[in-house]
Amino acid sequence: DFLTRRMNMTWPEARMVLRTIHAQQQTVEQRQRAVNSKLLWHRFERYESRLPGITAIRADYRKRREAILAESRFQPDATLSKAQNAVKRRLLRERRRTELEQLKQDREAELRYYRQRPHDRFLEYLYEQAKKGDGAALDELNRIYPVRALQEAQAFEIHIRERQRPNTLFKPADMGYTVAIRRNGTVEYRDEEQQVVIIDTFASIKVQERRADVIANALELAKLRYGVNGFEIRNATQQDLAAIEAAVRATGTSVKVLPKEPAKERDDGHER
């Protein structure tokens, strides 16, 4: 009821959230994250209470529109010729049209936020806070979004072996890469050419650039991320083994490489 009535989620959205939370309840992480969720929702409510609101936005629009119309009102200048006054009128008309169009766009951009459901406004708030470095907001995005089934082309995955993860907030690590946060809360690590090389989805670390140095960084990220040293590598090919072995030696990481699953065995969405 809270998800559908208070946060205005659809039933499919609420069902996915409940399934995700149920899976998390098997671990001790959920207790701390539940507290964080309530605190973040209260922070969001306080944030919205400080916003101007639809009434103030519309009032400001009318005031600014009246000012533009007043400033662009044509008054003939007796010192100018008829042709010069005509040019002055045309320039004022063009400036008025440009300023009114920009004013309209500004108003629509401000109203767009309020035209969203509270749940979507909450997600937007979390995303903006996460981009500012708020680890709790990023963690909450990952709680809400069902990212566990996310598949990335040409990527293999580093999974934690233990099913119980420590109660640490999900936040980007300094890996010497450019960091970009997606709207679903996953974190992309990009190289100097802005190519995505590692993706942290909270449930696993996905490696897209299969070089030994990148894999080594991904393994270090996994140790930092989960606070353990013992991982499963899934979806790796035979050609990846040499790079994985080099990365394991360089980082002293314990891994188990699982055989690559045939594509047809992934159709039902269940792990084999």
> Residue 170 pLDDT > 50, yes or no?
yes
For residue 246 the two structure tokens come to 């080099």
Check pLDDT > 70 for residue 147.
no
- DSSP code of residue 91: H
Structure letter (DSSP) for residue 265 = G
What pLDDT does residue 144 have?
79
Q: What share of the chain is helix, strand, coil (3-state, %, to 5)?
A: 55, 10, 35
Q: How far apart are CA 13 and CA 29, in angstroms?
A: 22
Give the model's confidence band at 110: pLDDT under 50 very low, under 70 low, under 90 confident, else very high: confident
pLDDT of residue 103: 92
Residue 189 reports pLDDT greater than 50: yes
Contacts of residue 247, defined as CB under 8 A and 6 or more positions apart, other chains included, come to 212, 213, 215, 216, 218, 219, 253
> Measured between alpha carbons, how far is 68 from 64 in angstroms, rounded to an integer?
6
Domain residue spans of the chain: 1-146, 148-272
Band of pLDDT at residue 32, cut at 50, 70 and 90 = low
Give the integer Cα–Cα distance in Å for 92 and 73: 7
pTM: 0.63
